[in-house]
C-alpha cells in the first residue's frame, strides 16, 4: 500500500509539473497565435530554450509510470483514445522540432524563420488542445472497451462537446500560465506590457471556457457540478480558486512577477486538485456507468516496489540538477547561445 | 494492408528513425568532449570551434531524438496494448530508470549548449561528458528492455489461463540477453556515429585537403569510430553464440540454415528459398557455423526443420539483413585498420584523395549496419513479440485502419529527415563564416589567435 501511494504520488506530481512547466512551454506557442512581436518571440525563445527538453520529460515519466504501475489504464487509454493521442503526438513532433530548427538553423533567413514559427504555434495549439481532449474523455464516461463498431469504440469517447471544451480549457490555461511566466523573463517595458495583456486575455478566456465546460458537461450528461459539491475538499478547492481570481487579475496588472507566478501556479493546482478529488479513485469512467479505478488497476506489489524505489532514487539525482539548471538561467536567459 | 502488418511497419519505421538520433545522442557528446578537452588543454582555437560547431548540429539531432523517443513511448501502447498490459509491469523497470537518465541528459545538455562563458569551464566540460554518459546509460537500459523480449525472464507464465505471476522486474531487467545486446548496441552507436561524422569531414576535405578544422574533426571521429569498429565483430561473435543458445530459430534464419547438421557451414551471400528450403548462389565455408555458434567445428547446429512451421521467422529478410550488417562491419573494420596503420607508419596517406574517398564512402555504412542489425533481432524473433510466450498478432491493437497512421508516420518522418539533412547542409555552409579557424591550413603555426568575434546568434 505504501509503495502504491509513492507511485501514485509520483504520477500525479509528474502530471502536475508537466502542466505547470511543460504547460507554460506549450502555452508560449499558443499565446503567439493571434499576435506576436519579434521582441516577444525572442524572449520566448530564450526563456524556454535551455529547459524545454527537461520539461517534456515529465510527460514521458508519466507515461512510463502508467504502463508500469497502472497497465490496465494505459491499455484502455491507448486503445479507446488512440486517435486523440496520435494527434497529440503529431503536435508534439511538429512543435518540438520546429522550435529546435528555428533556434539552431545556421542561416536565419526570414522565410524559413516564419515557417518554423508558424509550425511551432500551430503545433502548440494542437498539442494543448488534444492533451485536454484526452483528459476530458477519460472523465466523461463514454469509453466502451467492448464496443464493436468503430464509432462507439474509437470516436464517440472523445469527439464530443465536453472533451473538446476541456481541450480548449487546457489551451487557455496553458497560454495563461505561459504569459504569466514570461512577464518576468524580460525587463523591457514594451515586452512586459505585451505579456501582461496576454495574461489578462487568456485568464478571461479560461474563466469563460470554464463556464462552457460546465454547460458541456450538463449537455453530455456528466453531473460535474453535483460531483464537485459532493466532496467538501473539492468545494474548498473550487472556492479558493474563485476567490483567488480577482487578486490574480490585480497582481498581473501590477506586474508583480513572483506573486503572480505563485498565484497562477496555485490556481492550476487547485483546478487539477478539484478534478482529482472528484474522481479519485476512478481513473477512467466507462460508458456502462462503471469505472477503471487506480487501486484495482495497479501492477503487482513487486513491480510497484521497484518502481517506487526507482522513482525515489531518481528524484535524488534529478531535483538538484534541475535546480542548478534553473538557477543558472534564472531571469536572464542566455544572451549568447552557442 | 492488414492492420498487423501496418502496425509492425509503423513500429519498425519509428524505431528505425529514432535509433539514428539515439546513436548520435550517445556517441557525439564524447566526440565533443574530446575536442573540448583538447581546447582546454592546448588553448588551440580550432578545437573550441570544432566543439561548438558540432554541438550546434547535435542540438538539432537531440531535439529530433527527444520527440521521436516520446512518440515511441506512446506507440508501445497505441500499437501493442495487449503486450503492454502484461509486459509493462515486468519489463518496465529499465524504462523507469531511463527516465532519470534522460532527465539528467536533458539538463546537462541545457547546461552544455547554453553554458559557454556562463559556468566554470570544468563544470561546463563535465556537463558535456554527463550528456554522453547518461545517453549511453539510457541506451543500455532501453536495450535491456528489448533483450527481455528476446529472452523473457522474471515471471511465471501459465499458458492455460494466460496469466503472468511471480513478477520480478529486476530479474527481468538482467535477463540473459541484456549484456551481449547492450554491449553490441553501444559499440554500434560509436562505430556508426564515428564513421558518419568522419565521412562528412572527409568529404569536405576532398575539396580542401589542407584544412586543419576538418583534419582534426576527421581524426577525432575516426579514432572513436575505429576503436569501436575493431571491437564490433568480437562483440558480434559473442552475440551470435548467445543467440545460438537462446533463439536457435533466429540463428537458423540469419544463416538460412534449413537442415540440422553437424559440421554446419557458414553461408556467405546466397538467396534462400523458403518454400523449398534451398539456398542458391551462396558460398559455404564448411564447419565454420558450428564453430562460430558453439566453439566446436563438429557440433550440430539446429536448422529450421526442427522448428514448428508456425514458429519460423521470415528467412530471407533476416538472412539478407545479417549479411548487410556483417558486410558493413567487416568493411568498416578494414577502414579502421588502414587508418591506424597510416596514422602510425604512413601519415601522408591520410591526406590522400583515395583515402578521403574511402572514408567519405563509409559515411552511411555504420547506420546501415545498425538498421540491418535491428532487423535481424526483431524480424528474427517473429512470430513472437515475447519470445515463446506471446505472438505478435495477439498483441496488436484492435483498432482498425492502422495503415493510415503508418502512412502519416512515414510522411512526417520522411519530411523530418529531409529537413534535418537540409539544416546540416546549412550548418556546413556557414562554417567558414562563423569560425575563424576554418581558414587555417594544416602547416600554419598551431596557436593562431581567434580574431573574428563570434557571431552572436539571434533567435
Ligand atoms: C555499426 C553497427 C553494427 C556492426 C558493424 C555489426 N553489428 Fe551486429 N548488430 C548491430 C549493429 C552492428 C545492432 C543494430 O546494434 C544490433 C541489433 C540488436 C543488438 O543488440 O545489436 C545487432 C545485432 C546482432 C546480432 C543479433 C543479436 C541478438 O539478436 O541478440 C548478431 C548475432 C550480430 N549483431 C552479429 C554481428 C557480427 C558477427 C558482426 C561482425 C562484423 C556485426 N554484428 C557487426
Ligand atoms: C535500441 C533502441 C533505443 C536506443 C539505443 C535508444 C537510445 C536513446 C538515447 C541515447 C536517447 C537520448 C539521445 C537523444 O535524445 O537523441 C534517446 C531518447 C529518447 N528515447 Fe530512445 N532509444 C531506443 C529506443 C527507444 C524506445 C523503444 C523508446 C520508448 C519506449 C525510447 C524512448 C525515448 C525517449 C522518450 C527519448 C527522449 C529523451 C529526452 O527527451 O531526452 N527509445 N533514446
Ligand atoms: C531502435 C532500434 C530498433 C529497431 C530498428 C527495431 C526494429 C523493429 C522491426 C524491424 C520490427 C518489426 C519486426 C517485424 O515486423 O518482423 C520491430 C518490432 C517491434 N519492436 Fe523493435 N526495434 C528496435 C528496438 C526495439 C526496442 C528497444 C523495443 C522495446 C523495448 C522494441 C519493441 C518492438 C515491438 C513491441 C515490436 C512489435 C512487435 C514485433 O514485431 O515483435 N524494439 N522493431
- The burial class, CB within 10 Å (0-12 / 13-18 / 19+), for A317 is middle
Q: What integer pLDDT is reported at residue A241 of this predicted model? A: 80
Q: Is B423 on the interface with A (CB under 8 A)?
A: yes
Does a structural domain hold residue A284? yes
Q: Which structural domain, as residue segments, surrounds residue A93?
A: 2-330
Domains of chain B: total: 1
Does a structural domain hold residue A257? yes
How remote is the C-alpha of B253 from its chain's centroid? 22
Does a structural domain hold residue B111? yes
Q: Is B284 helix (H, G, I), strand (E, B) or coil?
A: strand
At residue B364, φ and ψ (nearest 5 deg) are: -85, -10
Specify the ligand 1 atom closest to the Cα of B372: 14
Q: Cβ contact (<8 Å) for A303 and B66?
A: no
Residue of A nearest to B68 (CA): A93
Report whether pLDDT(B371) > 90.
Answer: yes
Give, to the nearest 10 degrees, the angle between helix A301-328 and helix B81-114: 20
Q: How large is the ipTM?
A: 0.85
Q: What integer pLDDT is reported at residue A116 of this predicted model? A: 86
Measured between its terminal Cα atoms, the distance across chain A in Å is 48
- How many Cβ pairs within 8 Å bridge chains A and B? 234
Q: Cβ contact (<8 Å) for B111 and A78?
A: no
Render pLDDT for A276-317 as a digit per residue (tens, 0 to 9). 777 777 777 777 777 778 777 787 888 888 888 888 888 888
- Pocket perturbation via mutation, ligand 2, pick of B22, B74, B188 by most ligand atoms within 8 A of CB: B22
Query: Taking a C-beta distance cutoff of 8 angstroms, is the pair B423, A109 a contact?
Result: no
Query: Taking a C-beta distance cutoff of 8 angstroms, is the pair B53, B436 a contact?
Result: no
Report whether pLDDT(A130) > 60.
Answer: yes
Mean pLDDT of A98-113: 82
Does a structural domain hold residue A87? yes
Q: Which of A96-105, A182-191, B425-434 has the highest mean pLDDT?
A: A96-105
- Pocket perturbation via mutation, ligand 3, pick of B13, B14, B15, B188 by most ligand atoms within 8 A of CB: B15
Render pLDDT for A148-207 as a digit per residue (tens, 0 to 9). 888 888 887 888 888 899 999 989 888 888 888 887 777 777 778 888 888 888 888 888
Ligand minimally distant from the alpha carbon of residue B17: 3
B455 vs B115, higher pLDDT: B115
Q: Cβ contact (<8 Å) for B81 and A60?
A: no
Please tell me the distance from the alpha carbon of residue B125 to that of residue B119, in angstroms, as a whole number.
10
Q: Which structural domain, as residue segments, surrounds residue B132?
A: 24-157+169-176+399-438
Which grid coordinates belong to B239? 552475440
How large a percentage of chain B has pLDDT more than 70? 94
Does a structural domain hold residue A145? yes
Please tell me the distance from the alpha carbon of residue A265 to that of residue A273, in angstroms, as a whole number.
12
Residues 25-64 of A with CB under 8 A from B: 41-42, 45-46, 49-51, 53-54, 56-57, 59-61, 63-64
Please tell me the distance from the alpha carbon of residue A230 to that of residue A223, in angstroms, as a whole number.
11
Does a structural domain hold residue A335? no
Please tell me the distance from the alpha carbon of residue A60 to that of residue A284, in angstroms, as a whole number.
20
Query: Taking a C-beta distance cutoff of 8 angstroms, is the pair B19, B374 a contact?
Result: yes
Does a structural domain hold residue B404? yes
Residue B91 beta carbon below 6 angstroms from any ligand 3 atom: no
Mean pLDDT of A47-75: 81
Q: Which residues of chain B lie closer than 8 angstroms to A69, CB-CB?
A: 89, 92
Place of cell 526442427: B306
Place of cell 505504501: A2
Please tell me the distance from the alpha carbon of residue B28 to that of residue B131, in angstroms, as a whole number.
9
Residue B150 beta carbon below 6 angstroms from any ligand 3 atom: no
**Pick from B45, B43, B48, B18: nearest CA to B32:** B48
Measured between its terminal Cα atoms, the distance across chain B in Å is 44
Which grid coordinates belong to B130? 554527463
Q: What integer pLDDT is reported at residue B443 of this predicted model? A: 46
DSSP code for B298 = S
**Pick from B71, B61, B54, B55: nearest CA to B25:** B61
Does a structural domain hold residue B164? no
Does a structural domain hold residue A337? no
Which band of pLDDT confidence, cut at 50, 70 and 90, is reported for residue A211?
confident
Please tell me the distance from the alpha carbon of residue B28 to that of residue A305, in angstroms, as a whole number.
36
Query: Taking a C-beta distance cutoff of 8 angstroms, is the pair B213, B440 a contact?
Result: yes
Q: Which of A6, A52, A64, A331 to mutate to test the interface with B (most CBs of B within 10 A)?
A: A64
Does a structural domain hold residue A336? no
Mean pLDDT of A55-62: 83
Mean pLDDT of B370-376: 93
At residue B383, φ and ψ (nearest 5 deg) are: -80, 15
Q: Cβ contact (<8 Å) for A93 and B68?
A: yes
Query: Taking a C-beta distance cutoff of 8 angstroms, is the pair A331, A185 a contact?
Result: yes
Q: Is B114 on the interface with A (CB under 8 A)?
A: yes
Instruction: Name, in order, each residue with C-beta under 8 angstroms of A294's C-beta and a sequence gap of 6 or more.
Output: A8, A70, A73, A280, A281, A282, A283
Which band of pLDDT confidence, cut at 50, 70 and 90, is reported for residue B459?
very low
Residue B240 beta carbon below 6 angstroms from any ligand 1 atom: yes
Q: Is A239 on the interface with B (CB under 8 A)?
A: no
Mean pLDDT of A205-222: 83
Place of cell 501496418: B6
Distance B238 CA to ligand 1 centre (A): 10
Please tell me the distance from the alpha carbon of residue B97 to that of residue B433, in angstroms, as a whole number.
43
Give, to the nearest 10 degrees, the angle between helix B45-79 and helix B3-42: 160
Please tell me the distance from the alpha carbon of residue B144 to that of residue B172, in angstroms, as a whole number.
9
Instruction: Name, in order, each residue with C-beta under 8 angstroms of A27's C-beta and a sequence gap of 6 or more.
Output: A124, A128, A171, A173, A174, A175, A176, A177, A178, A179, A202
Which band of pLDDT confidence, cut at 50, 70 and 90, is reported for residue A331?
very low
Mean pLDDT of B54-75: 87
Q: Is A136 on the interface with B (CB under 8 A)?
A: no
Q: What integer pLDDT is reported at residue A310 of this predicted model? A: 86
C-alpha distances in angstroms, B436 versus A191, B33, B46, B430, B439? 35, 21, 8, 11, 6
Q: Cβ contact (<8 Å) for A97 and B416?
A: yes
Which protein residue has the closest C-alpha to ligand 2 atom 30? B73
Average pLDDT over chain A, rounded to whole?
A: 81
Residue B47 beta carbon below 6 angstroms from any ligand 3 atom: no
Q: Is the preceding peptide bond at B227 cis, omega within 30 degrees of 0?
A: no
DSSP code for B301 = B
Ligand minimally distant from the alpha carbon of residue B148: 3
> Considering all CA atoms of chain B, what is the largest pairwise distance in Å, rounded to the nearest integer?
76
Pocket of ligand 2 (CB under 6 A): A 53, 57, 60; B 18-19, 21-22, 25-26, 61-62, 65-66, 69-70, 72-73, 76, 102, 105-106, 135, 138-139, 142-143, 146, 185
Residue B396 beta carbon below 6 angstroms from any ligand 3 atom: no
Average pLDDT over chain B, rounded to whole?
A: 83
Place of cell 573574428: B452
Render pLDDT for B389-399 as a digit per residue (tens, 0 to 9). 888 888 888 88
Q: Is A78 on the interface with B (CB under 8 A)?
A: yes
Report whether pLDDT(A85) > 90.
Answer: yes
Q: Which of A239-243, B241-245, B348-352 is predicted least confidently?
A: B348-352
How remote is the C-alpha of A4 from its chain's centroid? 24
Q: Which of A1-10, A32-41, B396-405 is predicted least confidently?
A: A32-41
Residue B326 beta carbon below 6 angstroms from any ligand 1 atom: yes
Which grid coordinates belong to B351? 591526406
Q: Cβ contact (<8 Å) for B60 and A90?
A: no
Give, to the nearest 10 degrees, the angle between helix A52-69 and helix B45-79: 30
Domains of chain A: total: 1
Report whether pLDDT(B122) > 70.
Answer: yes
Mean pLDDT of A130-146: 86
Q: What integer pLDDT is reported at residue B44 of this predicted model? A: 81
How remote is the C-alpha of A91 from its chain's centroid? 14
Which protein residue has the closest C-alpha to ligand 1 atom 5? B329
What is the number of alpha carbons within 13 Å of residue B46 lying toward its C-beta?
20
Please tell me the distance from the alpha carbon of residue B195 to that of residue B205, in angstroms, as a whole number.
15
**Pick from A29, A31, A25, A52: nearest CA to A203:** A31
Which grid coordinates belong to B176? 540473459
Q: Cβ contact (<8 Å) for B66 and A306?
A: no
Give, to the nearest 10 degrees, the angle between helix A71-80 and helix B45-79: 90
B180 vs B121, higher pLDDT: B180
Q: Which of A60-74, A226-240, B116-130, B187-201 has the highest mean pLDDT?
A: B187-201
**Pick from B26, B42, B17, B48: nearest CA to B436:** B48
Q: Which residues of chain B lie closer than 8 angstroms to A100, CB-CB?
A: 59-60, 62-64
Amino acid at each position: 500500500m505504501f509503495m502504491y501511494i509513492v507511485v501514485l504520488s509520483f504520477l500525479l506530481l509528474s502530471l502536475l509539473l508537466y502542466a505547470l512547466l511543460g504547460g507554460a512551454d506549450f502555452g508560449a506557442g499558443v499565446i503567439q497565435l493571434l499576435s506576436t512581436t519579434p521582441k516577444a518571440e525572442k524572449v520566448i525563445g530564450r526563456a524556454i530554450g535551455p529547459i524545454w527538453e527537461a520539461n517534456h520529460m515529465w510527460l514521458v515519466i508519466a507515461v512510463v509510470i502508467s504502463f508500469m504501475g497502472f497497465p490496465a489504464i494505459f491499455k484502455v487509454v491507448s486503445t479507446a483514445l488512440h486517435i486523440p493521442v496520435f494527434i497529440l503526438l503529431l503536435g508534439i513532433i511538429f512543435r518540438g522540432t520546429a522550435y529546435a530548427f528555428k533556434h539552431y538553423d545556421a542561416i536565419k533567413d526570414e522565410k524559413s524563420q516564419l515557417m518554423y514559427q508558424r509550425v511551432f504555434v500551430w503545433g502548440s495549439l494542437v498539442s494543448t488542445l488534444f492533451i485536454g481532449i484526452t483528459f476530458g474523455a477519460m472523465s466523461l464516461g463514454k469509453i466502451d472497451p467492448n464496443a464493436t463498431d468503430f464509432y462507439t469504440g474509437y470516436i464517440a469517447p472523445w469527439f464530443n462537446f465536453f472533451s473538446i471544451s476541456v481541450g480548449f480549457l487546457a489551451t487557455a490555461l496553458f497560454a495563461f500560465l505561459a504569459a504569466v511566466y514570461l512577464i518576468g523573463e524580460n525587463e523591457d517595458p514594451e515586452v512586459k506590457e505585451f505579456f501582461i495583456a496576454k495574461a489578462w486575455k487568456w485568464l478571461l478566456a479560461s474563466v469563460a471556457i470554464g463556464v462552457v465546460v460546465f454547460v458541456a458537461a450538463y449537455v453530455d450528461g456528466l453531473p460535474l457540478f453535483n460531483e464537485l459539491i459532493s466532496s467538501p475538499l473539492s468545494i474548498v478547492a473550487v472556492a479558493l480558486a474563485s476567490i483567488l481570481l480577482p487578486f490574480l487579475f490585480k497582481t498581473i496588472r501590477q506586474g508583480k512577477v513572483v506573486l503572480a507566478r505563485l498565484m497562477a501556479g496555485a490556481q492550476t493546482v487547485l483546478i487539477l486538485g478539484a478534478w482529482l478529488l472528484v474522481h479519485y479513485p476512478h481513473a477512467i469512467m466507462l460508458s456502462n456507468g462503471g469505472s477503471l479505478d487506480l487501486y484495482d488497476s495497479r501492477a503487482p506489489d513487486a513491480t510497484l516496489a521497484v518502481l517506487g524505489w526507482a522513482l525515489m532514487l531518481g528524484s535524488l539525482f534529478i531535483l538538484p540538477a534541475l535546480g542548478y539548471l534553473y538557477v543558472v538561467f534564472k531571469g536572464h536567459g542566455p544572451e549568447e547561445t552557442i | 494492408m492488414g492492420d498487423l502488418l501496418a502496425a509492425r511497419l509503423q513500429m519498425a519505421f519509428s524505431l528505425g528513425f529514432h535509433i539514428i538520433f539515439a546513436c548520435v545522442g550517445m556517441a557525439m557528446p564524447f566526440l565533443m568532449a574530446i575536442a573540448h578537452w583538447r581546447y582546454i588543454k592546448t588553448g588551440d582555437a580550432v578545437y573550441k570551434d570544432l566543439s561548438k560547431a558540432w554541438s550546434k548540429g547535435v542540438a538539432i539531432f537531440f531535439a529530433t531524438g527527444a520527440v521521436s523517443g516520446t512518440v515511441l513511448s506512446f506507440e508501445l501502447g497505441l500499437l501493442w496494448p495487449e503486450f503492454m498490459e502484461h509486459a509493462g509491469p515486468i519489463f518496465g523497470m529499465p524504462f523507469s530508470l531511463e527516465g532519470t537518465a534522460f532527465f539528467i541528459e536533458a539538463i546537462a545538455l541545457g547546461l552544455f549548449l547554453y553554458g559557454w562563458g556562463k559556468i566554470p569551464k570544468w563544470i561546463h566540460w563535465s556537463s558535456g561528458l554527463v550528456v554522453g554518459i547518461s545517453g549511453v546509460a539510457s541506451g543500455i537500459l532501453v536495450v535491456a528492455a528489448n533483450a527481455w523480449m528476446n529472452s523473457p525472464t522474471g515471471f511465471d507464465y501459465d499458458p492455460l489461463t494466460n496469466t503472468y505471476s511471480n513478477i520480478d522486474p529486476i530479474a527481468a531487467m538482467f535477463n540473459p540477453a541484456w549484456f551481449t545486446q547492450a554491449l553490441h548496441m553501444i559499440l554500434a552507436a560509436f562505430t556508426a556515429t564515428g564513421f558518419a561524422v568522419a565521412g562528412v569531414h572527409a568529404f569536405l576535405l576532398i575539396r580542401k585537403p589542407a584544412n586543419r578544422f576538418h583534419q582534426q574533426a576527421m581524426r577525432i571521429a575516426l579514432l572513436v569510430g575505429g576503436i569501436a569498429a575493431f571491437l564490433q565483430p568480437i562483440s558480434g561473435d559473442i552475440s551470435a553464440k548467445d543467440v545460438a543458445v537462446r533463439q536457435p530459430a533466429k540463428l537458423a534464419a540469419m544463416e538460412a540454415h534449413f537442415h540440422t547438421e553437424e559440421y554446419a557451414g557458414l553461408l556467405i551471400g546466397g538467396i534462400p528459398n523458403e518454400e523449398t528450403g534451398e539456398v542458391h548462389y551462396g558460398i559455404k565455408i564448411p564447419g565454420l557455423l558450428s564453430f562460430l555458434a558453439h566453439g566446436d567445428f563438429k557440433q550440430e547446429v539446429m536448422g529450421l526443420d526442427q522448428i514448428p512451421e508456425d514458429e519460423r521467422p521470415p528467412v530471407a529478410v533476416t538472412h539478407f539483413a545479417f549479411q548487410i550488417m556483417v558486410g558493413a562491419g567487416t568493411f568498416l573494420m578494414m577502414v579502421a585498420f588502414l587508418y591506424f596503420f597510416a596514422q602510425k607508419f604512413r601519415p601522408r596517406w591520410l591526406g590522400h584523395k583515395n583515402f578521403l574517398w574511402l572514408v567519405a564512402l563509409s559515411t552511411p555504412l555504420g547506420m546501415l549496419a545498425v538498421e540491418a542489425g535491428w532487423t535481424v533481432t526483431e524480424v528474427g524473433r517473429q512470430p513472437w513479440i515475447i519470445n515463446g510466450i506471446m505472438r505478435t498478432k495477439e498483441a496488436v491493437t484492435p483498432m482498425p485502419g492502422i495503415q493510415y497512421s503508418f502512412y502519416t508516420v512515414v510522411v512526417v518522418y520522411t519530411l523530418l529527415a529531409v529537413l534535418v539533412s537540409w539544416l546540416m547542409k546549412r550548418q556546413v555552409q556557414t562554417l567558414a563564416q562563423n569560425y575563424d579557424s576554418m581558414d587555417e591550413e594544416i602547416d600554419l603555426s598551431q596557436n593562431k589567435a581567434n580574431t573574428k568575434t563570434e557571431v552572436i546568434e539571434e533567435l
